[in-house]
Structure 1
């Protein structure tokens, strides 16, 4: 889920950086077949859970 737009000084720059890094990160996933996503998702779920538990976005 995408966080709300940033406000204050640097907010526009942060949002632009987030958008660019999201687009760059999407490319490798787009190259995988549906079945090939299962392993990376399984490997990243514990990391994601820990980040969410600490309040990281």
Structure 2
């Protein structure tokens, strides 16, 4: 028997997932641009051959 788990993705509209108070906050354009830059950096540096289990093994050493 395999011990593999699959992730189930549930798409939720941001308006439905956020607290109503946060919907009133207007983010600054500079903060959005920094977020986009950092997100792009993280996505481009994903090592698809690395698994979560491999990371746990490295941390325990």
TM-score, reference length from structure 2:
0.39
Q: Which has the higher helix share?
A: 1
Indicate the structure (1 or 2) with the bigger Cα radius of gyration: 2
TM-score, reference length from structure 1:
0.41
